[in-house]
Amino acid sequence: MIADLHIHGKYSRACSKELTLGNLEKWAKVKGIDLLGTGDFTHPKWIKHIKETLTEDDTGFLKSKTGFPFMLQTEISLIYTQDGKGRKVHNLIFAPSLEIVDQITEAFLKRGRIDYDGRPIFKIPCPEFVEMLKEISKDIEVIPAHIWTPYFGVLGNNSYFNSMKEAFQDQEKNIHAIETGLSSDPEMNWRLSQLDRYSLVSFSDLHSFWPWRIGREATLFDINEDYKSLIKAIRTKKGLRGTIEVDPAYGKYHLDGHRDCNVSLEPKEALKFNNICPKCQKPLTIGVLHRVEELADRPEGYKPKDAKEVYHLIPLSEIISTVIGKGVNTKAVWTEFNNIINKFNNELNVLMNVSLEDLKNVTEQKIAKLIIDFRNGKVDLEAGYDGVYGTIKEIKKQKGLNDF
């Protein structure tokens, strides 16, 4: 089962207004995703859409009319002060039933509003947040989201936490997994012995349903298709097979940098400038690579004995766009995308399994070769920084890629 369990609906800020459960299901099938999160279950209009569109059954998942499974999921933004420092942390919540979701929403309503954004903000410290949810149900799962991003990642540079224990205190025992985020991958997280006990999961954090967003990161499970089995896999690592990752250099916060000045720097270079932009003298946004290096207690390349599988991929639309020199949302790219998908069933099958020879029989050789090169880790990227996505070094991405 390939799962993407960090998504948003159309009532979240900076999200496509065409984001509906129907569109999400349609494009999940095109992508090759077997299970989706519902996203944003605390928002009154979105939960109404969920209840009108999906049906609950005894698996703990909700099903569409065609039987496609969704799992109740949302993301909450916590902004508060601890030890004199401002803290900003995003956390995912997984829930086993609509009844539990209603109780979660009721608890949040006692602390503030939920109607202005699909990812609402609360002034609740992380330990209190987890304790509050566990009092509602032990089956609720909390997963710190994109833990390394400078803004809203629990270990990111601007949250000022150096460990999960520091952030979650006595409730760390109830945190079983961490989301790697686009700008890091398992290999980077393996460098911290303090993270060994956590399951590593990856999800897209999509803001639109297009195939260059949905499922660009996902988690692979070998489990029975029910909520309890999935949560057990997350808590024990048994049944969690691995993750699909974009190259972390593709992420928007991999290197240090300053977008306004077009400055991006490796950590060692940034330190030479005292983490100050050499052009405008303002502070640099410290990227994930720098932050991991600060906290790592193992050398680059360390791999634990129980390491799960890792697939480093890039969306097929991006590959086609790079080769033909057209934007990802252009007719030319869509034509070639559909040509390939129609032959090989879904995008992840193409990216993970189809042979070079079979690809060359359907698409042009450059596209086929780039698919295989990404699969084999042979493509270098110009790394992302300060909110700017990474680009393929050999051929820069073309205009036309929207940021949803």
Give pLDDT tens digits for 301-319.
999 999 999 999 999 999 9
The candidate with the shortest Cα–Cα distance to 316, out of 283, 278, 343, is 343
The answer on 242 and 339 residing in a single domain is no
Give the pLDDT of residue 401: 39
Tell me, what DSSP letter sits at residue 249? G
398 alpha-carbon distance from chain centroid: 24
> How long is the chain?
404
E-strand stretches of 325-400: 381-382, 391-392
Give the pLDDT of residue 102: 98
Residue burial 37-67, b: 16+ Cβ < 10 Å; e: rest: bbbbbbbeebbebbeebbeeeebbbbebeee
CA pair distance 77, 124, nearest whole angstrom = 9
The answer on 109 and 234 residing in a single domain is yes
Residue given tokens 């499922």 in the structure block: 215
Residues 6+ apart with CB under 8 A from 242: 219, 220, 308, 309, 310, 311
CB 366 within 8 A of CB 323: yes
In a domain, 280, yes or no: no
For the chain, list residues with pLDDT below 70: 394-404
The answer on 218 and 127 residing in a single domain is yes
Ramachandran sector of residue 183 (left: φ over 0; alpha: ψ -120 to 50; beta: rest): alpha
In a domain, 301, yes or no: no
E-strand stretches of 83-127: 85-95, 121-122
Out of 249, 265, 289, a domain closes at 249
In a domain, 265, yes or no: no
- Nearest 5°: CA angle at 195, between 189 and 196? 100
Average pLDDT in the chain: 96
Out of 213, 234, 249, a domain closes at 249
Give the pLDDT of residue 215: 98
The answer on 336 and 228 residing in a single domain is no
Burial class for 113, CB neighbours closer than 10 Å (0-12, 13-18, 19+): exposed
The answer on 328 and 240 residing in a single domain is no
Give the pLDDT of residue 147: 98
Give the pLDDT of residue 394: 59
The residue range of the domain holding 350 is 316-378
The answer on 320 and 245 residing in a single domain is no
The answer on 331 and 244 residing in a single domain is no
Q: Token digits for 129?
A: 């947040």
The answer on 44 and 137 residing in a single domain is yes
The answer on 6 and 154 residing in a single domain is yes
In a domain, 398, yes or no: no
Count how many domains the chain has. 2
**CA distances, 88 to each of 243, 385, 391 (Å):** 26, 20, 28
The answer on 333 and 244 residing in a single domain is no
In a domain, 210, yes or no: yes
In a domain, 8, yes or no: yes
The answer on 365 and 224 residing in a single domain is no
In a domain, 33, yes or no: yes
CA pair distance 176, 172, nearest whole angstrom = 8
CA pair distance 90, 71, nearest whole angstrom = 19
Out of 197, 232, 249, a domain closes at 249
Give the pLDDT of residue 393: 78
The answer on 190 and 70 residing in a single domain is yes
CB 4 within 8 A of CB 33: yes
In a domain, 270, yes or no: no
Model confidence pLDDT, tens digit, residues 215-238: 999 999 999 999 999 999 999 999
What's the CATH number where 73 sits? 3.20.20.140
CA pair distance 268, 283, nearest whole angstrom = 15
